[in-house]
Amino acid sequence: MINNVSVTNRLGGANEPIKKALDGFAFRMKVAAPGIIMAFDAEKQTVKVQLCIREKISINGKEFEDIEIPVLKDVPIFMPRAGHFVLTMPIAVGDECLVVFSDNCMDAWWESGKVSNQIERRRHDLSDGFALLGVWSQPHKISGYSVDSAVLRNLSNNSYVEVKDDTINIITPLTVNVEANTVNVNAGNEAHVTAPIVNMDCTSHRLNASSGSIEDTGTVKNITATTINLTGAGGVIINGGAASSIDGKTFLTHTHTAPDGGGTTTGVN
């Protein structure tokens, strides 16, 4: 909606006979109709929409025929939004929508965002539509629709976030990136990481366990692997209790025999 844009301007002067026919049969009063997105303007956040239901119209006294409503221009889109939050989705040409039409001319509100007077006295006019994305016809119905969970997903259903009564699943064959100043993971029972390769790149690594042990099939072990590389800019720090060990030997309280053969030992390290 740009300034005082009437339905004639919005549909184009060449469509004036259709406009007059609509006026004559009181068909100009619109409430809602399904449509197809023809173009999306991400800067203005408006779409061009082709309404899907033809009107049966007689133009200049001729026989009635089914006429397509000309493409609606600059139709505002609807996305869930409140407070400081909004859910946005990419809009593609060919997406289906529902266009609902305002009671009154909304041009002044559209420009100012404030309570405004009507620029034109029109009601339920083709110029005053809002495109609600998310409706679809049977040829575009969703496959694999979940009946027991809330899902944010792609149409292929191979990448999704699913919320169930007792579980939250994040599934994708691609990549999950988490970027933040601080990341906290708190598990009331257990936390598992299963992967062929686990890489941790940081200035300092800290592993803290109140029990002082890592259990593997009932045997207390610290770290088991073919090769273990621990590197850090400030050295490697391993904190554990008296039970901390490598290969069955404690590394916090162990001693060494003196090299002079006198039978003395060193103090604990």
Q: Binning pLDDT at 50, 70 and 90, where does residue 47 land?
A: very high
20, 133: one domain: yes
pLDDT of residue 219: 43
Stretch (H or E) spanning 9: helix 7-11
Does residue 189 sit within a domain?
no
Does residue 147 sit within a domain?
no
Does residue 195 sit within a domain?
no
131, 237: one domain: no
Examine the pLDDT at 130 and tell me if it is beyond 80: yes
11, 92: one domain: yes
**CA torsion, points 186, 83, 159, 49, in degrees to nearest 10?**
180
DSSP 8-state symbol, 251: S
133, 16: one domain: yes
Q: Give CA separation, 15 vs 50, 78, 128, in Å.
A: 15, 27, 17
Q: Binning pLDDT at 50, 70 and 90, where does residue 217 land?
A: very low
Domain boundary among 122, 140, 158: 140
Does residue 269 sit within a domain?
yes
Does residue 152 sit within a domain?
no
112, 210: one domain: no
Domain boundary among 140, 163, 184: 140
CATH of residue 118: 2.40.50.230
34, 104: one domain: yes
Domain interval for residue 210: 201-269
30, 133: one domain: yes
**Is this model's pTM higher than 0.75 or not?**
no
Average of per-residue pLDDT across 131-155: 96
125, 237: one domain: no
214, 100: one domain: no
How far, in whole angstroms, is CA 117 from its chain's centroid? Answer: 37
Does residue 113 sit within a domain?
yes
Count of domains in the chain?
2
Q: Binning pLDDT at 50, 70 and 90, where does residue 207 land?
A: low
- Residue 212 buriedness (CB in 10 A; 0-12 / 13-18 / 19+): middle
Per-residue pLDDT tens digits for 53-64: 998 877 777 888
Does residue 145 sit within a domain?
no
129, 240: one domain: no
Domain boundary among 91, 108, 140: 140
43, 115: one domain: yes
Does residue 259 sit within a domain?
yes
Lowest mean pLDDT among 15-29, 79-93, 190-204, 212-226: 212-226
Per-residue pLDDT tens digits for 178-193: 999 999 999 888 888 8
For residues 45 and 110, the answer to whether their CB atoms sit within 8 Å is no
